[in-house]
Amino acid sequence: MTKILSYLRDLRHGRTVVIGVPYLWFALLIAVPVLIVLKISLSEMETTSISSMISWADGWPTLKLNFSSYLFISGDTLYVQTYLSSIEYALITTIICLAIGYPFAYFMARSPKHLQPMLLMLIMLPFWTSFLLRIYAWKTLLVSNGAINNVLLALGIIHEPLAMMNNSFSLLVGMVYSYLPFMILPLYANLSKLDLRYLEAAADLGTSPFKAFWLITVPLSKAGIIAGSMLVFIPAVGEYVIPELLGGPNTLMIGRVLWDEFFSNNDWPMASSVAVVMILLILLPMALFNKYQSEQAEGKA
């Protein structure tokens, strides 16, 4: 009896350790940094350092919260516009990724079983090269004396170089190119599991293949569409490298503003506030997604 009890105790300890590792990871690498950012955003910038939140006056600790950065953000149209245009670019990226990724994933899921691992490999292949390098490569393709313009000029299709660089076109090309795999993979995972008998049943009941796609395949892949869209949209909102390298003066994105606040203006509380607002903007769709997923899970129980 005591043996069994001590075994159970050991089991419980073991479980604590196993569950503890990811919790520790989350605490150290997510919760603590976010709290630090939150703390900085509520502090005040003194010439070289950040003001302490707790000051000791008359022997009593006084909590000093400084919301001026948040007020400034909400009052300044530039910030509001930048947030809006970040969301707009992220949304457009998501929609284009979905439009390209869905057929892509669909044909991958329908291709012969022995070809599918190879197709998946081809999707993953670009990741073997540094992300930064690939973005630089796009630069050389898109600039006015770049490869694409040169070829088009040589063929006589255009007579002067197309302005494809440092504008919203180059930004979207870079974003769609970088995030497309994140759309394709969850869609492929979802579509390859689709039971083809549903399509047979639809055909049997008088539905043409085209209609069956919209009535059966698309609704049944909703979870994949949502997962892929989230994976593209969320990181796209805060993207910094692509707008920095491929964007232009008119492509406002919040990632660049953040960088400016930190490194040019050296205004850490302001930069932190910008970051906190961005996290909140991203949390909203995340929360919606989770709610949808839990509803789905509930329905299945």
Partner 1 sequence: MATAPKAKAVREDLLRVEGLTKIYDGAVKAVDNISLTVTTGEIFALLGGSGCGKSTLLRMLAGFETPTQGKIYLAGEDITHLPPYKRPINMMFQSYALFPHLSVWENIAFGLKRDGMPKNDINDRVESLLGLVQLTKLAKRKPHQLSGGQQQRVALARSLAKRPQLLLLDEPLGALDKKLRESTQLELVNIIEEVGVTCVLVTHDQEEAMTMASRIAVMSEGSFMQVGSPDEVYEMPNSRHVADFIGNVNIFDGVVEVDEPDHVTVRCEECVHYVGHGISGNTGMSVSVALRPEKILLSKNKPQGEFNKGKPQGEFNWCEGEVIEIVYFGAHTTYHLKLASGLVIKAQELNSTRDLSCGLTWGDRAYAHWSDLAMVVLTQ
If we measure between CA atoms, which residue out of 91, 92, 109 comes closest to residue 213? Answer: 109
Other beta carbons within 10 angstroms of residue 84's beta carbon come to 13
Cβ atoms 246, 165 nearer than 8 A:
yes
Per CB under 8 A, 244 contacts partner 1: no
123 binds partner 1 (CB under 8 A): no
Which of 28-36, 40-48, 204-212, 257-265 is the region at the interface with partner 1 (rule: CB under 8 A)?
Answer: 204-212
Element (H, E) at 109: helix 77-110
Tell the smallest beta-carbon distance from residue 211 to partner 1 (Å).
7
Task: Output the smallest distance, CB 204 to partner 1, in A.
Answer: 5
As measured in angstroms, the least distance from the Cβ of 212 to partner 1 is: 8
11, 211, 244, 293: which one binds partner 1 (CB under 8 A): 211
208 interacts with partner 1 by CB under 8 A: yes
55 membership: H or E segment, kind and range: strand 54-57
- Figure out which of the listed residues 204, 249, 280, 284 binds partner 1, where binding follows CB under 8 A: 204
Tokens coding 301:
């129980």
Q: By the 8 A CB rule, do 79 and 257 touch?
A: yes
Does 157 participate in binding partner 1 (rule CB under 8 A)? no
Segment contacting partner 1 by CB under 8 A, of 25-33, 139-147, 198-206, 236-244: 198-206
**Stretch (H or E) spanning 61:** strand 60-63
| Nearest CB to partner 1, comparing residues 47 and 208 | 208
User: What SS3 class is residue 11?
Assistant: helix
| Percent of residues in the chain assigned helix, strand, coil, to nearest 5 | 75, 5, 20
300 touches partner 1 by CB under 8 A: yes
Which residues is 122 bridged to in the sheet? none
The two structure tokens encoding residue 230: 């989230």
DSSP 47: S
Which sign does the torsion angle of CA 161, 167, 171, 176 carry? negative
Alpha helices (H) along 27-76? 32-41, 68-75
- Among residues 10, 76, 195, 244, which is the contact residue for partner 1, using CB under 8 A? 195
Instruction: Assess 191 for contact with partner 1 (CB under 8 A).
Output: no
CB of 98 to partner 1, least distance (A): 19
Which residue, 153 or 203, is less far from partner 1 as judged by CB?
A: 203
Does 216 sit near partner 1 (CB under 8 A)? yes
One of 165, 185, 202, 236 touching partner 1 (CB under 8 A): 202
Q: Which of 10, 76, 200, 244 binds partner 1 (CB under 8 A)?
A: 200
Q: Is 114 in the site for partner 1 (CB under 8 A)?
A: no
Residues of this chain, 68-97, that bind partner 1 according to CB under 8 A = none
295 lies in the site for partner 1, by CB under 8 A: no
Tell me the residue type at 37.
V
For partner 1, how many residues bind (rule: CB under 8 A)? Answer: 19
Identified binder of partner 1 from the candidate list 219, 249, 263, 284, rule CB under 8 A: 219
Helix or strand holding residue 54 (H, E): strand 54-57
CA angle at 255 for the pair 253 and 259, rounded to the nearest 5° = 125
Q: Which residues bind partner 1 (CB under 8 A)?
A: 195, 197-198, 200-208, 211, 216, 219-220, 222, 299-300
